[in-house]
Amino acid sequence: MWSSSEAGGSWRHVVTALDPPQLTARAAIAVDLTNQALLYADNPDAPLPPASTAKIVTALVVAGTLDLDEVVEIQPGDLVDPAVYANMGLAAGDRLTVEGLLTGLLVASAGDAANALARAAGQRLGAPTDAAAHQRFVAEMNRLARKLGMRRSWFVAPDGRDMPGQVVTARDLAIATEALFQEPVLERIVSFPTATVRVEGPNPREVTLYSTNQWLGLPGVHGVKTGTTPAAGQCLVAAVWRGDARVVTVVLGSQDRYADTQALLDWLDRHLAWVRVAPDGGFAPLDAALRERGLTLATSRTLLLTREDAATLEVRLEALPSSTGRAQWQQGTVVLLVRGQEVLSLPLYAADRFAPVS
């Protein structure tokens, strides 16, 4: 592993094999956010149409501008052509909370929700009219993108529709997704395969939404956003667990986003190993040694290793001298080594006297 100034943010670059996955996507990236590692990149900085992946940034701006329980009344200008754009089926006069609209935005990829949120947030940011609010909101999208380090993306509309000059990169979308996962409500919403939103107003009702992400509900999948337009092709930002590590993949301009993402994940699994070290088990050699000695861990960690390095992984248990003055329940330390070099050290406790905090 080695550091790379091109890795985006603080991600370090994991040296991978020379047999790249066969993808139809025009650009792709894979990042382990937990271990801050760049796993794969192909044209990661190519500016391409975003389609509805732009709504990740829309949601971030809204979350930083409006309160979740604020109520927004839908205006005629918020509505979209249902034959052309995904929508929540809203009508002028409907009233929804910001959280409800964010759910429509991220689950159903609703354009009417995007427009209503952009208008409300743009007004909160100081715009005097609805038209100016839309422009002010887009300006805030671009300001936030620069702040996050999305250096090669530019937004023109909050719903990501095909418009001249509106582009994102795979790397920038991974950066935006990392920011999204720091917002607990957004993190929760993007994991919903379905959701129900309450609508008040002249026609009070509940609206059931179905995610455009067909992978949600599969084991380990917990987000994030699809996008499809004629210019953008098929796009998918996905998040999956590998042990306790969160891996984000982005494919843009794909002919089959799910097949491409699966091919990318399969390739990662062939060349990389995620070794989970945890109180409830995960790494068999360590688990057996701890059971034999009546010891336990207090915390969980997931190591990212190449398959070659994982084959050299060793476990060393070190007893703690009674004179060290450490916490009385600590009995020793477990050290994990790769090629003879220490990569992780964690305290060990007596299993019958210590209950790990969940």
Residues 81 and 195 both lie in one domain: yes
Tokens, residue 131: 């038209």
Provide mean pLDDT across the span 3-18.
Answer: 55
pLDDT at residue 5, rounded to an integer: 39
Contact 275, 310 (CB under 8 A): yes
> Does residue 109 sit within a domain?
yes
CATH at residue 123 = 3.40.710.10
Per-residue pLDDT tens digits for 11-60: 777 655 668 999 999 999 999 999 999 999 999 999 999 999 999 999 99
Please tell me the predicted confidence (pLDDT) of residue 320: 72
* Mean local confidence (pLDDT), 115-122: 99
In this predicted structure, the answer to whether residue 242 has a pLDDT above a threshold of 80 is yes
Cβ atoms 24, 261 nearer than 8 A: no
Q: Which of 60-69, 107-116, 312-321 has the lowest mean pLDDT?
A: 312-321
pLDDT band for position 356 (cuts 50, 70, 90): low
Last residue of a domain, one of 271, 292, 307: 271
Together in a domain, 158 and 27: yes
Instruction: Please enumerate, as own/partner, the contacts of 218-223 that have beta carbons within 8 Å and a separation of 24 or more.
Output: 222/190, 222/191, 222/246, 223/177, 223/180, 223/181, 223/187, 223/190, 223/191
Q: Do residues 334 and 201 both lie within one domain? A: no
Give the pLDDT band of residue 351 (cuts 50, 70, 90). Answer: confident
> What mean pLDDT is predicted for residues 70-74?
99
| 158 and 242 both lie in a single domain | yes
**Mean pLDDT, the chain, integer:** 92
- For residue 7, is it within any domain? no
Query: Which segment of 5-14, 206-215, 237-246, 328-337 scores lowest on mean pLDDT?
Result: 5-14
For the cut 70, the answer to whether the pLDDT of residue 3 exceeds it is: no
Residues 328 and 344 in one domain: yes
Task: Give the mean pLDDT of 48-74.
Answer: 99
Q: Residues with Cβ < 8 Å from 116, sequence gap 6 or more?
A: 72, 74, 75, 78, 90, 96, 101
Confidence band for 2, pLDDT divided at 50, 70 and 90: very low
- How much is the pLDDT for 322? 61
Same domain flag for 303 and 253: no
| 232 is a domain residue | yes
Closest of 27, 24, 85, 82 to residue 55, by C-alpha = 85
Please check whether residues 102 and 197 belong to one and the same domain.
Answer: yes
pLDDT of residue 87: 97
Q: How many CA atoms lie within 13 A of 108 on its CB side?
A: 25
Strand 37-42 to strand 27-32: parallel, antiparallel, or no bridges (unpaired)?
antiparallel
- Quick one: pLDDT at residue 14? 67
Coil/strand/helix, residue 113 = helix
Please tell me the total count of domains within the chain. Answer: 2
Going from the C-alpha of 186 to that of each of 104, 195, 238, 249, the distances in angstroms are 12, 13, 14, 18
Of 271, 291, 317, the one marking the end of a domain is 271
- Residue 300 pLDDT > 60: yes
Q: What percent of the chain has pLDDT over 70?
A: 92
pLDDT surpassing 70 at residue 207? yes
pLDDT of residue 357: 47
Q: Are residues 175 and 263 in the same domain?
A: yes
Residues forming beta bridges with residue 96, ordered by sequence position: 72
List pLDDT tens digits, range 308-349: 999 999 999 988 766 555 555 788 899 999 999 999 999 999
0.85 exceeded by pTM:
yes
As a residue count, the chain comes to 358
The sheet that has 221-229: what strands, in order across it?
12-13, 37-42, 27-32, 245-254, 233-242, 221-229
The number of beta carbons lying within 10 Å of the beta carbon of residue 173 is: 30
| Residues of the domain holding 341 | 278-350
Task: Give the residue with greater pLDDT, 210 vs 281.
Answer: 210
Q: Checking DSSP bridges between strand 330-338 and strand 341-350, what pairing results, if any? A: antiparallel
Residue 197: inside a domain, yes or no?
yes
d(CA 106, CA 97): 14
The residue from 242, 271, 300 where one domain ends is: 271
Q: What per-residue confidence (pLDDT) applies to 15?
A: 52
Mean pLDDT across 180-196: 99
CA 203 – CA 209 distance, rounded (Å): 17
pLDDT of residue 329: 74
